[in-house]
A and B are shown apart, each in its own frame.
Chain A
Amino acid sequence: MGATHLPSTEFDGTGIEDRLEAEAEARLGDPADPMVQLLAPDGTLGSDPVFSEYAERLDADKLRGFYADMAKIRRFDVEATALQRQGQLALWVPLTGQEAAQIGSGRASQPQDYIFPTYREHGVALTRNVDLAELLRQFRGVSNGGWNPKDTNFHLYTLVLAAQTPHAVGYAMGIQRDQKLAASAAAAAGNTGPAAEPQAAVMVYFGDGASSEGDVHESMVFASSYKAPVVFFCQNNHWAISVPTAVQTRIPLANRAKGYGFPGIRVDGNDVIAVHAVTEWALERARRGEGPVLIEAFTYRVGAHTTADDPTKYRESSEEEHWRAKDPLVRLETYLRAQGLADDAFFEQVRADGDELAAYVRKTTHDLETPDIRTAFANTYVEAHPLVAEELAWFEEYSAGFADEAEGAAN
């Protein structure tokens, strides 16, 4: 038996593989591929048998708020990029193009929910009331995190791709157990009514690139098996740095959920109303204990992967143009104006607020203090630790041994 009998990595053009291949191709290229969309790129509001009901919950204030959030975060993104170019940040991860996916989903979360972001969820951070200037601490290299996740239930940015997905599922399983404990305690105390604490869910963000990581697979297996209250929110922004989605998957990413045994929905990630509706539905479902949902927000990273990336080297500008036409802000503005829900004064105010935020962020970034190196030693253990104390002592002695430092002090 020679090598010819070994299975080939390429389809050999016969039989079942051929058919499966053709089917996969058809699914991938199918323009009628189901994607939940309520607000079309031209700003007209459509309908959906399931999700229109959720969209109807949104009043004018909420819709204006969505717009203000999206405009604000885009302005913030521009400022942070400029700060990086001016040497004030080591790196920046722009989000432009993904505002609707982030604001829509973030606004659908409740305060008691816990959010695990990647490193690009600045929009979600805004909806969780994280101080955006704090967010820049890590990108300036003066902090390993930047904010206290307990304040906002918005976890620290995770820079390791997909590493946050098992964390999220673990957290969700923890919530399950806490609820069980609380219920049995309540039962023991004779209370049979609904739990006093609001039910919480977990939402975890990741991208099309991270979807290929083993962590995501493991997380989904656990989440499904334990019906964990977690929503997997995948922003398919089409590019994992320079790798196109086509290399990550041959089927819509949302379809993968079916294999794990929970619902997967592809939503127009540039339609803030649809994203909000779908996420609200999924989170409610999770809080009710009905298990995980995978949401694939179909969107596009209009800018670079990070400030260290140059997208012109791997994609055509025509593709960017194509997606710019689907801009999430433009379509909501069109809708708000057409419906008479917002006027020039409103949009002018939003712009002014954005500039104010930018100025605040700029000023705060310049003022960010570099923490004392001793905090690194101080925060290793909760209590004093002899080994750490020894290391600190050594470090102090070592540092004091430099002539130029003493010079600096003398000058």
Chain B
Amino acid sequence: MTLHKFNLPDVGEGLTEAEIVAWNVKPGDTVAINDVLCEIETAKSLVELPSPFAGTVTELLVPVGRTVDVGTPIISVSDTAGPETAPEAAPAAAPAAPMYGKLEHGKLEHGNLAEEASDAGEPAGRPAGGPLVGSGPKADAVKRRRRVAASAARPPEAAGTAAASPAAASPAAATPAAAPAAGQEAVEAHDIWISPDAVAHADRPSAPAAGPAVDQRPTLGGAISGLVSKVLAKPPVRKIARDLGIDLADVTPTGARGEVTREDLVSYQAQRDAEVDKADTFWGKTGRPQEQRIERIPVKGVRKATARAMVESAFAAPHVSIFVDVDASRTMEFVKRLKASRDFEGIKVSPLLILAKAVIWAAARNPSVNATWVDNPDGSDTAEIHIKHFMNLGIAAATPRGLMVPNIKNAQDLSLKELALALNDLATTARAGKTQPAQMQGGTLTVTNIGALGIDTGTPIINPGEVAIVAFGTIKQKPWVLDGEVIPRWITTLGGSFDHRVVDGDLSARFMADVASILEEPALLLD
């Protein structure tokens, strides 16, 4: 019985990684050559991988949902099934890694594939003949092969001494090849990204040799990552934007591939000019009939959807709104400390992050606020209340397309840092006008940050399908009485609207008090 490992191949041209989307087999299954083992998703496509071996599946080495580098073993198959599987099996039989040109003397292995496999300490991972994994440009192209220390004239003997441990050899080697510890650090550092895979993989030097073979990080938010912070535009368009002082991210793109076109810039500029001019020309000439001084704007798109949703919510759900003033001084200190901390370097941190965390925390203590009222579709009065044991936290955002409420899926699972990144992501995407419909569906509770506009508080209207919404007022210094003395503190007002069918007054009050308590003392989050 021989154990064969199937290394993730490069199924495109020059792909460096792929995600396992689904396994079609499980340990113990018998597979034949070309039976579909699994489905993987690469940067280019969704692809089924056929089995190169016949035998019995012994282990799935990579779980579903994980992104791994090309060349990583993903499944092991033992060839107990029969001898007819032999040809491509038998790793021992074939010469080691002949794929990349080998001179007769076996001295001049060319290219770094072969050595990489041995560096990784898994020569058995490459079946006979060496599958052509990773044929394209390598992510670790920066890796340099070690030269003989002295002169190139008499290499074999000299090098023999430095043999056994590639990582421990010469200092020159240790640097580019990244000793295990260094590799781990790199991974850690990239962990701060909500969707670290792309970044980490691109930068990580020689991962197979250094870090863990299998990427342990979640691919959370991977779908969004491609959309943020990368505005597509042709160079001349970029130049015009630069000349006009326009941030391309502010412009709504209409290009066929989502790129900002010259026309987009022109219309953006026209709108900007118009807004500036409007102040002077807004009022129509008094002499003209009133009819001609009314501007008619067709209600459509987001405006129309917003209007419909608000009417539906305001009249279907009996709203009750409550307010509470909060001393958010400690939140402000906390935010300040986070900003200064190395962990949050480069991440935008705002009081909204603490509020979001507080809302998630408070919802778990008062689950009825994270619910939906479901009328019986047949019109009878047997309605249901669906309590959601997950938090898809909606954030109301003003976008170029109008009001959008994208939500952060499974926000309850996110650490503070992940939540911060998710909020940034969401805001960037929304501001760029790239929020996808899926990102706006399935929200369970919403926060609207009216404070960003300098407003103290308001009575927000519940996002349809939810039963609670929290309005976060501006935070400013106000006189506050503490221990009988008036002192300046950072004060904010929280407003909340609740669907009274689901959330009674006492419950909404307790929920708001819980949220307020966190803003007053963020340390409670450590509970």
Give the residues from 43 to 87 in chain A that come closer than 8 angstroms, CB to CB, to chain B: 78-79, 82, 84-87
Encoded as 1 (CB less than 8 Å from any B CB) or 0, chain A from 386 to 408 comes to: 00000000001111111111111
- Which of B11, B99, B115, B128 contacts A404 (CB under 8 A)? B115
- Beta-carbon contact of B99 and A370 below 8 Å: yes
**CA of A157 to CA of B156 in the docked complex: distance in angstroms?**
41
- Beta-carbon contact of B159 and A366 below 8 Å: no
Residues of A within 8 A of B106 (CB): 408-409
Tell whether B163 is near chain A: CB-to-CB under 8 Å: yes
Tell whether A410 is near chain B: CB-to-CB under 8 Å: yes
Q: In whole Å, how far is B505's beta carbon from the nearest beta carbon of chain A?
A: 53
Tell whether A310 is near chain B: CB-to-CB under 8 Å: yes
Nearest opposing residue in chain A for B8, CB measure: A87
- Beta-carbon contact of A403 and B11 below 8 Å: no
**CA of A142 to CA of B99 in the docked complex: distance in angstroms?**
8
Nearest opposing residue in chain A for B129, CB measure: A366
Give the residues from 10 to 62 in chain B that come closer than 8 angstroms, CB to CB, to chain A: 10-13, 33-34, 44-52
Residues of A within 8 A of B496 (CB): none
- Beta-carbon contact of B163 and A410 below 8 Å: yes
- Beta-carbon contact of A85 and B147 below 8 Å: no
**CA of A399 to CA of B52 in the docked complex: distance in angstroms?**
33
Nearest opposing residue in chain A for B35, CB measure: A82
- Beta-carbon contact of B46 and A403 below 8 Å: no
Tell whether A308 is near chain B: CB-to-CB under 8 Å: yes
Q: In whole Å, how far is B112's beta carbon from the nearest beta carbon of chain A?
A: 9
- Beta-carbon contact of A401 and B155 below 8 Å: yes
- Beta-carbon contact of A86 and B107 below 8 Å: no
- Beta-carbon contact of A403 and B158 below 8 Å: yes
**CA of A403 to CA of B165 in the docked complex: distance in angstroms?**
12
- Beta-carbon contact of B109 and A405 below 8 Å: yes
Q: Which of B131-139, B232-240, B464-472 contacts A (4 or more CB under 8 A)?
A: B131-139
Tell whether A198 is near chain B: CB-to-CB under 8 Å: no
Residues of B within 8 A of A370 (CB): 98-102
- Beta-carbon contact of A91 and B13 below 8 Å: yes
Residues of B within 8 A of A408 (CB): 106, 109, 114-115, 118
Tell whether B160 is near chain A: CB-to-CB under 8 Å: yes
Give the residues from 73 to 130 in chain B that come closer than 8 angstroms, CB to CB, to chain A: 87-88, 94, 98-110, 114-115, 118, 128-129
Residues of B within 8 A of A367 (CB): 129
Q: How large is the interface on B (under 10, 10 to 19, 20 to 34, 35 or more residues)?
A: 35 or more
Nearest opposing residue in chain A for B14, CB measure: A308
Q: In whole Å, how far is B108's beta carbon from the nearest beta carbon of chain A?
A: 4
Give the residues from 144 to 193 in chain B that come closer than 8 angstroms, CB to CB, to chain A: 145-149, 152, 155-160, 162-163, 166, 169-170, 173
- Beta-carbon contact of A402 and B147 below 8 Å: yes
- Beta-carbon contact of B158 and A373 below 8 Å: no
- Which of A88, A369, A403 contacts B162 (CB under 8 A)? A403
Residues of B within 8 A of A87 (CB): 7-10, 52, 131-133
Chain B interface main SS type: loop
Give the residues from 359 to 387 in chain A that come closer than 8 angstroms, CB to CB, to chain B: 362-363, 366-374
- Beta-carbon contact of B115 and A372 below 8 Å: no
Tell whether B6 is near chain A: CB-to-CB under 8 Å: yes
Residues of B within 8 A of A307 (CB): 11-12
**CA of A307 to CA of B50 in the docked complex: distance in angstroms?**
13
- Beta-carbon contact of A369 and B98 below 8 Å: yes
Give the residues from 277 to 310 in chain B that come closer than 8 angstroms, CB to CB, to chain A: none
- Beta-carbon contact of A407 and B103 below 8 Å: no
Q: In whole Å, how far is B13's beta carbon from the nearest beta carbon of chain A?
A: 4
- Beta-carbon contact of A362 and B108 below 8 Å: no
Residues of A within 8 A of B88 (CB): 362-363, 366
Known A-B contacts A82-B34, A86-B50; the reply to A402 vs B131 at CB < 8 A is: no
Residue among A363, A367, A374, A407 with the highest chain B CB neighbour number at 10 A: A407
Residues of B within 8 A of A363 (CB): 87-88
Tell whether A140 is near chain B: CB-to-CB under 8 Å: yes
Residues of B within 8 A of A396 (CB): 103, 108
Known A-B contacts A82-B50, A141-B135, A402-B147; the reply to A409 vs B10 at CB < 8 A is: no
Residues of A within 8 A of B94 (CB): 366
Residues of A within 8 A of B34 (CB): 78-79, 82
- Which of A82, A306, A313, A406 contacts B107 (CB under 8 A)? A406
8 A/B residue pairs, CB under 8 Å, sorted by A:
A79-B34, A140-B132, A312-B45, A366-B128, A401-B155, A403-B146, A403-B158, A407-B159
Task: In the A-B complex, list the 3 residue pairs whose CB atoms are closest, starting with the nearest.
Answer: A87-B9, A310-B45, A401-B152
Q: A403-B155, A407-B162 are in contact. List 15 more A-B contacts (CB 8 A).
A: A85-B9, A87-B7, A368-B129, A369-B98, A370-B101, A372-B102, A402-B155, A403-B146, A404-B115, A405-B108, A405-B155, A406-B159, A408-B114, A410-B160, A410-B163
